[in-house]
Amino acid sequence: LSTLSTDLGQGMVSDRRSLTLAESLSLTDEARIVCESAPPYRIIHTNVAWKEACGFSFIEVAGKTCSVLQGEETQRAALETLSLALQQKRPVNVKLINYRKDGTPFLNSLHVAPVKGGSHFYGRFITAQPITNGSVAPREETPELNPVPEAPVSYVGKGGGRCQRRVSQAQLADMLESEDPYVLCSSEWPHVITHASPAWCEMCGYMAEEVEGLTNKILTGPDTDSEALASLLAHVRAEEPTVQTVWNYKKGGERFLNQVTVLPLYDESHELAAFASILKEVDSEDLAIDADAWRRLSAVLETQGPILDTPRREAAQALLGARAAVLRDLCNAKRRTQRDLGHVPSKHKEFADRALAELVRRLLGERPAAPGSEEEGAVWQRVAQILPARIATEVIDGRPPDMSPAAARAIIEETRRNA
């Protein structure tokens, strides 16, 4: 077996065309892995078949490298062939000895190639044959899998010092860099889950392998609003982003209030590649403030929306859907997602909520109202100062846009009038 690294086919390329990123993430019985395109080529996706072949779950290897499969008998020549192909960003076939999580060696015939566009690499096991004749000793110790440190949520605005990739359409490749809890779903009905991020698995209690091939219905339950789900689906059919706040359920049955963002994702050819469902758990008490007023505004949007100009309708819909998260950012300095922004004291949360409601009222064309007191008026002015800086209109570090630039301008114009 020590001569396997020079076996026929080593380094030769199959005549299969390279997969797109969406295809590499799609459901298949093939053992698949997707890695970053730059050293150290960290793992960002594995499927059920890969877990069955290797014994590692996705959560165990996410953010690690494929060295978790290596051991004493893994051939250096094969690794060098693979490394050179990765550096040159070209497809390659290799045969090498790898090890399962339990230390069992297997002969791995592996095809590795860059996805179309070159944003990532994918690997597929052509064959994975256990070595049972005793010629290769089992690996005695499982490699230590230290958890990947969790990056804080960072919503970087235009003043950020880092170089950002900004695109007008949300890109599938960018979404895979996000630290948010999200799942990727196929672009075709019934939009089955093809990838679950580590943060999503931690939040919802499922293993990635458990939900592969299922739909987001696994999170629904008795209190999930069917009308909100219908609205989500309507936006999916129209390939439009949307935000809805619904009651969802974790694996153990625990109910949580979820501000879910559904985002169409595109490939390098600007073709629809997938949908992302991005979760954010919000406090139900934030939605209890003046709930009747917000329900009325939702009803007004349903009736008046069709006759409003598109930017104002989109802006009102975005604020209605993201109300809890916006209010939390405005009023809780410790939990704000954009820490460089100012905040409103938590004791004035009710005033801030009314300021947001007033903004929605004006976007919907209703007669302007006045604050109830001088103190409340000062809070309205503070909200008008902070809110425009919070809005993202482009994909930044995997964060989906809040709304289009035109909708953001509609909010900025109204906040100036509020101020």
Task: Give which of 198, 186, 196 is closest to 265, Cα–Cα.
Answer: 186
Give burial (CB, 10 Å; 0-12/13-18/19+) of 82: buried
For 153-212, write each residue's pLDDT tens digit.
322 222 232 223 333 578 999 999 888 899 999 999 999 999 999 999 999 999 999 999
Local confidence band at 396 (pLDDT 50, 70, 90 cut-offs): low
Residue 341: the pLDDT is 63
How does DSSP assign 17-36, residue by residue?
A: PPPPHHHHTS--SS-EEEEE
- 169 or 123: which leads in pLDDT: 123
- Answer yes or no: is pLDDT of 405 > 80: yes
How high does pLDDT run on average in the chain? Answer: 82
- Answer yes or no: is pLDDT of 7 > 70: no
127 phi/psi in degrees, rounded to 5? -145, 155
- 155 or 43: which leads in pLDDT: 43
Tell me the helix, strand and coil percentages in the chain, rounded to 5: 40, 20, 45
- Highest average pLDDT, of 10-19, 61-70, 277-286, 315-324, comes from 61-70
Residue 373: the pLDDT is 86
- Taking residues 88-105, report their average pLDDT: 94
Query: What one-character DSSP code corresponds to residue 401?
Result: P
For 279-338, write each residue's pLDDT tens digit.
988 776 656 566 777 778 888 887 776 677 788 888 888 888 777 778 877 876 655 455
- Answer yes or no: is pLDDT of 3 > 50: no
